[in-house]
Amino acid sequence: MLNVAVTLKRIAMLVAAAALLAPAAAQAKIIEIGQSDTPVVPSCPRNCNAVSRTTGYQAKVGTNRGLMTVPQDGRIVAWTITLSKPGPSQVKFFQQNLGGESQAGIAILRPAPKLFARTVSLSPIETLTSFFGQTVQFPLDRSLVVHKGDVIGLQVPTWAPALAVNQPGDTSWRAARSADKCRDTQTQTATKAGDNPQYRCLYRTAQLAYSATLVTNPGT
């Protein structure tokens, strides 16, 4: 079930406002970055895993290496996350070991060589506990400017049950951790604006269940 916290009316208004600034032939578009053909189903309560204390992004799904890459200049106006429903004991474990209630947001990342990526901007962090077992979409009161080639990351300062495991071998995501810390899921590595870490840790056979709504600049 989709718990829609942002209305299509609001997005349509943003598109209309953008279109007024350009010739009639140049229209803004709405693109859902990260949307895949097959719905992503996070793994709890069975095989329960969570994204924890990091900033990450989906590196590959099948042959698609650019699932979370911004295709055109524009603004991110909302983001969506699909959450599994961990059981009470699982929630208690995560809360006790990973900093409290489940929380997440998105990060705009600007990639550079050698797996560096600078955090350009961040959305507000949302508390997710009341949305377990649902897909929820969050509006951004202040949209985030993005440029073609930026990457939309998932920002998780505590933990989020938004991880699908046992995926095909050609599916993987990256986290802002050094190569020798890939098994350390408790140390805080969620980035702040201006940080420029390396995303050295590649987690295979897993997919992050999130997307972001882009309104493109007219004429791009």
Given a cut of 80, whether residue 5 has pLDDT beyond it is no
User: What would the two tokens of residue 182 be?
Assistant: 């890939």
Average pLDDT over residues 29-33: 95
Q: How confident is the model at residue 135 (pLDDT cuts 50, 70, 90)?
A: very high
Q: Which two tokens stand for residue 18?
A: 């953008």
How far apart CA 107 and CA 129 sit, in angstroms, is 20
Q: How far apart are CA 196 and CA 116, in angstroms?
A: 6
* HEC letters along the chain: CEEECCCHHHHHHHHHHHHCCCCCCCCCCEEEECCCCCCCCCCCCCCCCCEEEEEEEEEEECCECCCCECCCCEEEEEEEEECCCCCHHHHHHHHHHCCCCCEEEEEEEEECHHHEEEEEEECCCEECHHHCCCEEEEEEEEEEEECCCCEEEEEEEEEECCEEECCCCCEEEEECCCHHHCCCCCCCCCCCCCCCCECCEEEECEEECEEEEEEECCCC
Nearest to 104 by CA among 214, 212, 215: 212
pLDDT band at 21; cut points 50, 70, 90: very low
Structure tokens given for 92: 């208690």
Tens of pLDDT, residue by residue over 60-106, are 999 999 999 999 999 999 999 999 999 999 999 999 999 999 999 99
Banded pLDDT at 57 (limits 50, 70, 90): very high
Identify the pLDDT of residue 28.
Answer: 86
CA angle at 25 for the pair 21 and 26, rounded to the nearest 5°: 50
Residues facing 155 on adjacent strands: 55, 105
pLDDT reading at 17 higher than 80: no
Is the pLDDT assigned to residue 18 strictly greater than 70? no
**Average pLDDT in the chain:** 91
In this prediction, residue 27 carries a pLDDT of 83
Q: Report the pLDDT value the prediction gives residue 218, as an integer from 0 to 100.
A: 84
Instruction: Output 119 or 9, whichever has higher pLDDT.
Output: 119
Structure token digits, residue 60: 């590959």
Predicted local confidence at residue 14, as pLDDT: 55
Burial of 38 (0-12, 13-18, 19+ CB in 10 A): exposed
Instruction: Kindly indicate the confidence band of residue 165, based on its pLDDT and cuts at 50, 70 and 90.
Output: very high
Does pLDDT of 182 surpass 70?
Answer: yes
